[in-house]
């Protein structure tokens, strides 16, 4: 009997020791939330838990990160909802982000309002109409007149009216038809004045952007209007919120010469030598100037004339 008790005690001691050793080894291991996400049965639950758990795993907390204010002009067109859905789901992957979506319209549309509510993002929904004289007419090439100028300036007005000089953050002008890597947002987050990086598939080149030597911008890789003060795309820079707030009169010039819209803002904020190169000294492409092909809806127009058009209650 004593031998059996001794054996039981010995087995209990060994098992307990092993469990204690395993527990001690787990202390200090990085948080891994993926197994909790897999346990969720529905996609809606999975989305909600992913946000909560991501914040729980962040020891510093999202609230301490500088906020990235993403300014997006948009206008009504058949593929608007598709463009905004794609962009919103990219932005959802970026912590501490505030989306400022500005419609080119006299009123804020229900379509955009519903999309923003469902996006899960922190957002501000604004609207301002481009003056008719500045609008493209049917058949005009995209480059004939600058687009989104009034909407970007409206976002700047909102920031200056609602943010304090001590607020930290960065402002990025992201069109709704570009393609963005989530990494570009982390590159810009700690911008001091103006940070820059190359943009793919723009200016008739594979990419266009700053040339960097010893960590400083010394020129630009571009082939079109090379005399521009800042010859790069709108998607290729971000501006410190505090810098914009300290220059309350600076905005985009709606009458700027073609290709000079970016320069009309930046030349009042920074010099070329003060630009902060990102994306491994501007050697990595993290944003692309893509454009969605305009949908061909001739058959839809034919059916509409026959009174058999697609159900307008179905959002596309």
Catalytic residue among 262, 267, 301, 304: 262
The DSSP secondary-structure symbol of 99 reads E
Q: Where are the domains of the chain?
A: 31-64, 65-288
Which pLDDT score, from 0 to 100, does residue 293 have? Answer: 75
Q: 311 and 269 in contact (C-beta within 8 Å)?
A: no
Which residue ranges in the chain fall short of pLDDT 50? 3, 24, 27-60
Enumerate the H helices of 58-139 as residue ranges: 80-91, 110-119
What distances in angstroms separate CA 175 from CA 60, 71, 219, 275, one per listed residue?
Answer: 30, 8, 25, 22
Which pLDDT score, from 0 to 100, does residue 59 have? Answer: 39
**Nearest 5°: phi and psi at 43?**
-65, -35
Give domain 65-288's CATH architecture.
Alpha-Beta Complex (3.90)
CB burial class (10 A; 0-12, 13-18, 19+) of residue 79? Answer: middle
Cα separation, 22 vs 244, whole angstroms? 53
Intra-chain end-to-end CA distance of the chain, in Å: 79
Spatial CB neighbours of 291, under 8 Å, sequence gap ≥ 6: 177
Which pLDDT score, from 0 to 100, does residue 147 have? Answer: 85
Neighbour order of strands in the sheet with 97-103: 122-127, 97-103, 67-74, 169-173, 237-240, 194-196, 276-277
The pTM of the full predicted model, rounded to 2 decimals, is 0.77
Which pLDDT score, from 0 to 100, does residue 11 have? Answer: 56
Cα separation, 284 vs 137, whole angstroms? 37
Residue 177 counted as an annotated binding residue = yes
Which pLDDT score, from 0 to 100, does residue 22 have? Answer: 57
Strand partners, 126: 102
Which pLDDT score, from 0 to 100, does residue 135 have? Answer: 75
Q: 96 and 65 in contact (C-beta within 8 Å)?
A: yes
The DSSP secondary-structure symbol of 84 reads H
State yes or no: is 262 an active-site residue.
Answer: yes
Which pLDDT score, from 0 to 100, does residue 18 have? Answer: 59
Which pLDDT score, from 0 to 100, does residue 191 have? Answer: 98
Which pLDDT score, from 0 to 100, does residue 19 have? Answer: 57
Cα separation, 40 vs 19, whole angstroms? 28
């Amino acid at each position: 009997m004593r031998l059996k008790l001794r054996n039981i005690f010995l087995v209990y001691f060994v098992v307990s020791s092993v469990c204690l050793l395993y527990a001690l080894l787990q202390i200090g291991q990085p948080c891994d939330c993926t197994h909790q996400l897999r346990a969720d049965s529905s996609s809606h639950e999975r989305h909600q838990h992913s946000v909560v758990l991501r914040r729980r795993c962040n020891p510093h907390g999202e609230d301490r990160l500088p906020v990235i204010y993403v300014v997006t002009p948009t206008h009504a067109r058949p593929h608007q909802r598709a463009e905004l859905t794609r962009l919103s789901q990219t932005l959802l992957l970026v912590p501490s982000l505030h989306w400022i979506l500005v419609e080119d319209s006299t009123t804020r549309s229900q379509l955009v309002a519903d999309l923003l509510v469902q996006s899960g993002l922190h957002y501000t929904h604004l609207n301002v109409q481009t003056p008719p004289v500045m609008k493209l007419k049917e058949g005009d090439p995209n480059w004939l007149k600058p687009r989104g100028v009034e909407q970007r300036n409206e976002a700047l007005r909102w920031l200056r009216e609602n943010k304090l000089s001590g607020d930290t953050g960065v402002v990025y002008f992201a069109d709704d038809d570009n393609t963005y890597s989530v990494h570009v947002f982390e590159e810009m987050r700690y911008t001091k004045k103006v940070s820059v990086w190359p943009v793919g598939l723009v200016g008739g080149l594979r990419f266009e952007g700053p040339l960097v030597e010893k960590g400083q911008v010394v020129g630009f890789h571009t082939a079109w209007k090379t005399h521009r003060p800042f010859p790069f795309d709108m998607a290729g820079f971000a501006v410190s919120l505090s810098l914009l707030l300290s220059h309350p009169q600076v905005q985009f010039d709606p009458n700027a010469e073609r290709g000079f819209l970016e320069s009309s803002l930046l030349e009042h904020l920074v010099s070329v030598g003060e630009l902060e190169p990102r994306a491994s000294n501007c050697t990595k492409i993290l944003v692309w100037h893509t454009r969605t092909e305009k949908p061909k809806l001739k058959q839809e127009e034919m059916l509409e004339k026959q009174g058999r058009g697609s159900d307008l209650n179905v959002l596309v």
